[in-house]
Amino acid sequence: DTAVSQTPKYLVTQMGNDKSIKCEQNLGHDTMYWYKQDSKKFLKIMFSYNNKELIINETVPNRFSPKSPDKAHLNLHINSLELGDSAVYFCASSVTTGELFFGEGSRLTVL
Amino acid sequence: AQSVAQPEDQVNVAEGNPLTVKCTYSVSGNPYLFWYVQYPNRGLQFLLKYITGDNLVKGSYGFEAEFNKSQTSFHLKKPSALVSDSALYFCAASSYGAGSYQLTFGKGTKLSVIP
């Protein structure tokens, strides 16, 4: 009965590869997000989608491309992975009063 | 631009003692304020929020937070700490624009409750 689910939970890959992380929420929320948590636990918003439309696109390299096929799904595709992309990526969705519901995170390690 | 400051990287407290985790914010307009908790290798869990109304907000697991507009603070408190409260705590402030909430997080405070 997981509210926000992400796959995969762990991802280990080589520099230069392309990878995707998938996210699904069954809460009926209109807005979904991708956050990046670095090794110092700092959280930074990357993207926000409202009803499949891109709302927030922070300063993120073009190698990162979000896609929202419907309002319950928000996937993140990363091209040409670099060492600095290693982090934990969190998907979240939000209610109209603003609190976020987070997935369990996808830990990406680039070797 | 909005910002959130958590001045303490770590807070240590003995089990059974009261705890406080500090947070100050800078938001234009009326702030929406939140506290989240993160256990190791887990996602963030919502604890409580302030949008309007009473300055003292009660949340999950016996936590509460006090909104102080003059000091622009939103400190998290609990009367009696449990070892299981040991985790990373994030304060966040939100503004609404263009169809979504943009939540800005503090850098987090690690709470250690000592048995």
Which of A100, A101, A104, A109 is the mutation pick for testing B, counting most B CBs within 10 A?
A100
CB contact under 8 A, B99 and A55: yes
- Whether the CB-CB separation of A34 and A89 falls below 8 Å is answered with yes
Domain range for B109 is: 3-114
Lowest mean pLDDT among A44-58, A59-73, B63-77: A44-58
| Fold category of A4-110 in CATH | Immunoglobulin-like (2.60.40)
What mean pLDDT, rounded, does chain B reach?
92
A39 touches chain B (CB under 8 A): no
Tokens of B95: 């503004």
> So where are chain A's domains?
4-110
What are the pLDDT digits (tens) for B32-91? 999 999 999 899 999 999 988 889 999 999 999 999 999 999 999 999 999 999 999 999
What's the pLDDT at A1? 63
Kindly indicate the confidence band of residue A103, based on its pLDDT and cuts at 50, 70 and 90: very high
| Alpha carbon distances (Å) from A65 to A34, A46, A76, A105 | 11, 10, 6, 18
What are the pLDDT digits (tens) for B97-108? 656 667 889 999
Among candidate residues A69, A79, A82, A77, the one with its CA nearest the CA of residue A106: A77
Q: Give B-chain residues touching A41 at CB under 8 angstroms.
A: 38, 88, 107-108
The domain that holds B65 is classified in CATH as 2.60.40.10
What's the pLDDT at A95? 77
Which of B101, B102, B105, B111 is the mutation pick for testing A, counting most A CBs within 10 A?
B101
Strands A31-37 and A43-50: antiparallel
